[in-house]
Structure 1
C-alpha cells in the first residue's frame, strides 16, 4: 500500500479516535498505526491497532519507517496522584520525542493545549506567540507547558518538522460519558444534565469558553499530517461561548455568584472526594486567554464545521443518554460500572 505511514499514540481516546478516522479518509495516507494502552477490537479502514504504553514500552519498533508521528497519549486522572500523570504525560511524551529522533521520523505533531498558555483572560485574542508558561496551580497546564519547553529543545537538536496543536475544549457525543467520569465524577449522572435538574448556573463576568468538535480538531491534525506546515496552531470554533449561552442550552437561569464562592465550593467538593476535578483546573479555565485561530484557517485551510452551540448541544445530549464510543476510554455508562464508581466516590473499595 502506497502513501504516508502515520503512527498515532493515544489512538482510542476522545481526540485520537477522531484523528485516526480523519487520517483514514485522507487519500495521501496509506496506513495508520494506532497505539493505545489497552487493546481494542475497533475497526477503521487503513488502520491497525497495537498495544503500547508510551511511558514504558518500546516505541522504536512502532516508529521505524513512519512518515509522521501524532502524539496524543494523555492521562487526565488520577488528579490526586500527579506523579502518575507526570509519568505518562511528560515522561511518556519525552520518550515519544526521543524515539522520533532516534528513528528519523520526518514529522512530529504534538497535542498541546490552550491550557499551556500563560494567563491572559483580560487580553485581546492572542496569537501562537503568547507565552506558554501555563498556570502553576494544576497538573494539566504544568505538564502541557513543560512539554512546550521540551519541544523547544527538541527542535534545536533535530531537523524534524514539528507541529504543536493548541486546541480549546474538545467535545463530541461519544465522549460524553468518558468526560463526565473524568471531570464531574459519580455524583453527576448524565441524565441530570438538563432542565429542570440544573435550574441555575453561576454568572462569571467576562468568562467565555472556546470549544470545538473532536471531528473538527481531527481535520486539523490530518491537514498537518499530509502537509508541510511547522509551528503552533490555535484551534477553536468561533465565536467563544458565554455562560449565558450555555445556560440557554441547558434551560437554566444564570445567577450572580462571587467567583471566590464558586472556587470554594469546588475546593470543598474536591476535598470531600465528590469530584475528581481540582480547584486548580477551575483556576486554569478562568485564566486562559482567548485564542486567535486565524493561522490555522490561513495556513492549514482549516474551517470548523460545527458551531460552539452545536458542539455543546450534541455533548449535552450525549450526557443525558449516557453515550459512548467503540473503545475502552470512550465506554458508555453502564449501570454496574456506575454503581462501582459511586461506591468508590464514597470511599468504598471493591
Structure 2
C-alpha cells in the first residue's frame, strides 16, 4: 500500500511517519519543500522523499507524478510564517491545497485525508462541545482560520462533484509533542521568549480571560487517528481533542503560576503592537482565534474510528514545555534547532 504524505517533515508529519512505520506492507512517500538530510535517522529514513513547493506554478504536474499509484494522499502542508506577507501564506495554504486536490483527482487517487483544524470553525461556545456539523466558516480576523475555511469550502465542492473520492477531514485542537518544542517556539513565540524558564516546570503568570478555554492533543494520538482513517473506510470530518479543557486556571495550577485577568481588547492590542514591532511572530488574529474557537466533541472519532487519546492534554502540554525549555528538535528542517532556518511549511494547528 503506497501512502503519500504531503508536509511529512513537520510536527504531525513526523508523528505520522512514526505511526505508519508500525504497519506492514506500507510504502511511505514523503513530500516537503525542504527535505531531511540523508541519514537523518528515524522516522525519516526508509521514506521515499520528493521536494515540492506546492504553492508554485507547475506543482500540480509534479504532484501528479508523485501521487501515481497511491492508495491515499495525506495533505498536512501549511505555512504559518512569514505572517507579515499574507500573499505568500495564501499562495501556499489555499493555492497549494488546491494544487494537491487537483493532483489527487488527476492521478485518480481513491482517498484524500486533509489536515483541517478547530480553526476552521465559526466562533462557537466555550461551555459545551460542538460536533462536526458546526459551521466551518472560520473566525473573522484570523487569516489562519479563514484559509482553513476556504480549503474546506473547496472540499465541499469536490465531495459533490467527485463522490467516488473518499475524503476525510481531520479537525484537531492544538497539537503538542516534545520534539516540536523548538519549532513551536520559532513559529509562535520568537527568539525573545524566555522559554528556558520552563525547565523548572513553572509558568509564573498566565493571562486569564473567560474565553481563553482551549483543547489540545498529543501529536502521536493525532497520528493514530490519521492512520485509522488512511487504513480504514471512514469519510467526512472528525474532531480530535483530549481532556481536560485547558483553562488559564488549570494551567496556572499545574505549572505553579498565578492567573492575571486580561480583557480581550488588551490581549488583541498587545499582540498587534508587538507583532508590528516584530518582537514576536504572530498577529492579533491568533488571539481572535483563541478567544472564539469552539470546544469540540470527539465522539464521532471514538465511534467511527475507534480512536481515543492515550495522552491527556495537561501531560501533552507539560511535554511540550519541556521540549521548549530544552530546545528539543529533530533533523527535519521545520523541526530543526538551526537558528538560521527560515520559517517554512508545516502543520502546527
Q: 2:326 aligned with 1:330, yes or no?
A: no
Residue deviations 1:154-202 (CA, integer Å, cap 9, x gap):
1112120000000000011110111111011121042133669852212
Structure with higher RCO (Cα < 8 A, 6+ apart): 2
Q: Does 1:74 align with 2:63?
A: no
Give the number of aligned pairs.
334
Q: What is the CA distance between 1:249 and its match in structure 2?
A: 3.3
- Other-structure match for 2:32: 36
* C-alpha distance in structure 1 between counterparts of 2:54 and 2:229, whole Å: 22
User: Contact 1:196/1:252 (CA < 8 Å) preserved in 2?
Assistant: no
For the aligned residue pairs, the C-alpha RMSD in angstroms reads 1.9
Gap change, CA 1:111 and 1:196, over 3 Å in 2: closer
Does structure 2 retain, via aligned residues, the 8 Å contact 1:65–1:105?
Answer: yes
Stretches of structure 1 lacking an aligned partner (at least 5 in a row) = 342-350
Q: How does 1:71-150 map to 2 (within 5 A)?
A: 71-122=75-126, 124-150=128-154
The answer on 1:20 being equivalent to 2:24 is: no
Query: What SS does the corresponding residue of 2:138 show, helix, strand or coil?
Result: coil
* Cα deviation, residue 149, structure 1: 0.5
Q: TM-score, normalised by structure 1?
A: 0.91
Give the TM-score normalised by the residue count of structure 2. 0.91
Shift of 1:124: 2.3
Query: Which deviates more from structure 2 when the two are superposed, residues 55-64 or residues 294-303?
Result: 55-64
SS of corresponding position for 1:210: strand
Query: 2:248 matched to which residue of 1?
Result: 243
Unmatched segments (≥5 aa) in structure 2: 344-349
Query: Which residue pairs with 1:257 in the alignment?
Result: 262
Q: Structure 1 pair 130/123, CA: closer, same or farther in 2 (3 Å)?
A: farther
Call closer, same or farther: CA 1:46–1:302 in 2, change over 3 Å.
Answer: farther
Listed one character per residue, the Cα deviations across residues 124-166 of structure 1 (whole Å, up to 9, x for unaligned) are 2110000000012121001000000000111112120000000
Please tell me whether the aligned partners of residues 109 and 165 of structure 1 are also in contact (alpha carbons under 8 angstroms): yes
